[in-house]
């Protein structure tokens, strides 16, 4: 059984945890590989950002070991990490499929996002943009931007902007405006079958899981559910509500 490690680049605790797990995998007869495409599993040691970057490195199921501050995504705490690795060797785990987003801009290569895609202002000031859902103009905003999040990403950027917390095993598309200049503004929850297009009257930025690129005025940014899922290793220890309660108290 082959494992690839994706470790937080600056957190010393993450590096130490990864080193211990590599030794343990070798003691069980496993192999640690340097190329993610060769791995049966990817072990992400860090926080939510480390989990996202692990998903982008390959299609293998991801085992999340928490070495971050909040860590909504990683399922395994450091003290249970070796038990989790042994459970993988013994087949005592399940796989969860997490919805992702497919984002396109005319004339550019498309990208996928696990947590969120966002339309953002490119500097100071605000942008004015229109939200189109399934070809129907829904609403226009003057704001700092708009976040389109997956249920997995509901506890990230979307939450900080006032979006709802959603069970990550569900499938839906969450729209959360960022600092809108209006007295009436609420997040919008859409079907996973919806196709959202954001059209800004100003030059802006398009962000997918924190990676940004320029977006010219009037260039439509289309966001919809992707056919690609993230495969997430679960050990059945804790429900999402139990983990959420720990994070909120």
**Catalytically active residues, by annotation:** 48
Percentages of the chain per state (helix, strand, coil), in multiples of 5? 25, 40, 40
DSSP symbols for 78-107: GGGHHHHHHHHHTT--EEEEE--EEEE-TT
DSSP category for residue 190: E
Q: Are 131 and 118 a contacting pair, CB within 8 Å?
A: no
Contact assessment for residue 206 and residue 145, using Cβ atoms and an 8 Å cutoff: no
> Running DSSP on this structure, what letter comes out for residue 76?
B
Residue-wise burial string across 4-37, b where 16 or more C-beta atoms lie within 10 A, e elsewhere: bbbbbeebeebbebbeebbeebeeeebebeeebe
Burial of 116 (0-12, 13-18, 19+ CB in 10 A): buried
Distance CA 201, CA 128 (A): 6
């Amino acid at each position: 059984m082959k494992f690839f490690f994706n470790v937080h680049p600056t957190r010393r605790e993450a590096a130490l945890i990864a080193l211990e797990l590599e030794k343990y995998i070798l003691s069980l007869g496993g192999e640690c590989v340097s190329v993610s495409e060769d791995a049966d599993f990817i072990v992400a040691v860090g926080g939510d950002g480390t989990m996202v970057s692990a998903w982008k490195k390959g299609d293998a199921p991801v085992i999340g070991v928490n070495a971050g501050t909040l860590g909504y995504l990683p399922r395994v705490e450091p003290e249970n990490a070796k038990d989790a690795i042994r459970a993988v060797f013994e087949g005592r785990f399940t796989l969860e499929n997490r919805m992702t987003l497919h984002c396109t801009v005319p004339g550019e290569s498309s990208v996928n996002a696990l947590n969120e895609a966002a339309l953002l202002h490119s500097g100071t000031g605000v942008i004015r943009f229109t939200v189109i859902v399934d070809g129907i103009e829904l609403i226009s905003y003057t704001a700092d931007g708009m976040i389109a999040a997956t249920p997995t990403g509901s506890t990230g950027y979307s939450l900080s902007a006032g979006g709802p917390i959603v069970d990550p095993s569900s499938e839906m598309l969450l729209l959360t405006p960022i600092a809108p200049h209006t007295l009436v503004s609420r997040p919008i929850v859409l079907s996973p079958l919806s196709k959202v297009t954001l059209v800004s009257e100003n030059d802006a930025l398009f962000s997918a899981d924190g990676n940004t690129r320029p977006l010219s005025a009037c260039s439509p940014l289309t966001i919809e559910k992707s056919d690609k899922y993230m495969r997430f290793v679960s050990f059945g220890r804790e429900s999402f509500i139990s983990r959420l309660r720990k994070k909120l108290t």
